[in-house]
Amino acid sequence: MAGSSFGQAFRVTTAGESHGPGNVVIIDGCPPGLSLSVDDLRADLDRRRPGQSRLVTQRSEPDAPEILSGVFEGRTTGTPIAIFIANQDQRPRDYGELASLYRPGHADHSYDAKYGLRDHRGGGRASARETTARVAAGAVAKRLIHEAFGGEVLAYVTQVGNIRAAIHDPSAVTLEQVERFGDGTPNLVRCPDEEAARRMIELIDQVRREQDSIGGVAEVVARGVPAGLGEPVFDKIKAELGRALFSLPAVLGVEYGAGFGCATARGSENNDVFIAEPGEAGVQIRTATNRHGGMLGGITSGMPIVLRAAVKPTSSLSREQATVTAAGEPAVVRTRGRHDPCLLPRFIPMAEAMVALVLADHWLRWRGQRAL
């Protein structure tokens, strides 16, 4: 009922606030025998970490995970895995005046309306800080789907403001292209089209100087996913993935495959033609194109899953904005905390984590339903 758990067979529950002692996730349902250590969690937590570059929030958090349970001698035991990530750079004093002010674009008013009280230190429970817990769980899910069926999930930025990347084949994009430019320097914006990425970085620098923020689009690709994952009717894999991505802060739109582009197409153009190819286990049915984004009838088709999420410009601005107090008096608010001028670079590991969680959950559900 209370909404802090996600998934059925691979079930995660998160707890934590932005300026409390830390964030925790409990993963229930991970099969025993999966090799797992904190090192498996670090790479994605580092990609999500605040303070990683000038383009993101300057809050300085090491985000060092601690595995408290469920792993013995380097392997999962099948019992709940608890992971704790401490908050170390809290500055609740920056947020004192927010106890009675509503920041535009934030959840302050909605939380008051729902609970009648709220932790006003930073975003509290609504802060993207909570996604540390999901990214840690997502790293476990990534290990599981890789071990189970060779599945891989990769996300990258395709748009910041009006700057769009040219991506010809989503399933050909590599982690190396997302993380580094050709000369080996870090790709701070995580857009694999280097020319577009450099312009995106300039734009983010510009909005930061103007005490403003900018939104964008991320694309997520899941490769190696077998055909047959997903449930009729309400737990269609597309519905589950939509729910997963919409549960992340700042997401205002999700589409997959041809997405909203399908509105202008005719059926004769939109249908992906089936083809048969020789595979390791006999004939493999595929489609010649992938406008359906890897899901038909809400069940995976065996083609790569391709999704996009639209992410809004960060609501926190260091410039003055008009608002009202909880009592309805006119007021001015200027967010003093440390914020991302663009959420997209850090959104990438969050989106990957949520997609991996859905795939891990549905692979376990598929396994539990195989015919005798």
Contact residues for 30 (Cβ-Cβ < 8 A; gap 6+): 10, 70, 76, 78, 81, 140, 144
Task: Tell the smallest beta-carbon distance from residue 333 to ligand EPS (Å).
Answer: 13
Q: Environment class of residue 161 by beta-carbon count within 10 Å: exposed (0-12), middle (13-18) or buried (19+)?
A: middle
DSSP 104: T
Q: Which is nearer to ligand EPS, 120 or 143 (CB)?
A: 120
Is 190 a binding residue for ligand EPS by CB under 6 A? The answer is no
Is 122 a binding residue for ligand EPS by CB under 6 A? The answer is yes
Q: Which is nearer to ligand EPS, 105 or 224 (CB)?
A: 105
Is 338 a binding residue for ligand EPS by CB under 6 A? The answer is yes
String of contacts with ligand EPS for each residue 308-327, x by CB under 6 A = --------x-----------
- Among candidate residues 145, 143, 302, the one with its CA nearest the CA of residue 226: 302
Is 61 a binding residue for ligand EPS by CB under 6 A? The answer is yes
Q: Helices (H) and strands (E) in the chain — how many of each?
A: 8, 18
The DSSP-derived string for 252-310 is: EEEEETTGGGGGG--HHHHSPPEEEEEETTEEEEEESS-TTTTEETTEE-SSPEEEEEE
Gap between the terminal Cα atoms of the chain: 34
Task: Tell the smallest beta-carbon distance from residue 249 to ligand EPS (Å).
Answer: 5
> Binding segment for ligand EPS among 8-16, 32-40, 213-221, 336-344 (CB under 6 A)?
336-344
Is 47 a binding residue for ligand EPS by CB under 6 A? The answer is no
String of contacts with ligand EPS for each residue 230-249, x by CB under 6 A = -------------------x
* Integer Cα distance of 19 and 119 in angstroms: 9
Q: Which is nearer to ligand EPS, 13 or 314 (CB)?
A: 314
Is 16 a binding residue for ligand EPS by CB under 6 A? The answer is no
Is 123 a binding residue for ligand EPS by CB under 6 A? The answer is yes
Instruction: Give the interface with ligand EPS as residue ranges (CB under 6 A).
Output: 18, 50, 57, 59, 61, 122-123, 127-129, 132, 249, 316, 337-339
